[in-house]
Amino acid sequence: MGIKGTEFVVETTPDGPTTLSVLDGSVEVRPAVGEPVLAAAGTKVTFDPARVPVGQDL
What averages of pLDDT result for each successive group of 10 residues across the chain (58 residues)? 72 86 89 82 83 66
pTM: 0.72
Cα separation, 55 vs 19, whole angstroms: 10
Percent of the chain with pLDDT over 90: 22
Q: How buried is residue 38: exposed, middle or buried, by Cβ count under 10 Å (0-12/13-18/19+)?
A: middle
Helices (H), 1-58: none
Q: Are residues 45 and 19 in contact, defined by beta-carbon separation less than 8 angstroms?
A: yes
Q: Measured in whole angstroms, how far is the alpha carbon of residue 28 from the centre of its chain?
A: 7
Residue-level pLDDT at 23: 92
Residue-level pLDDT at 47: 81
Length of the chain: 58
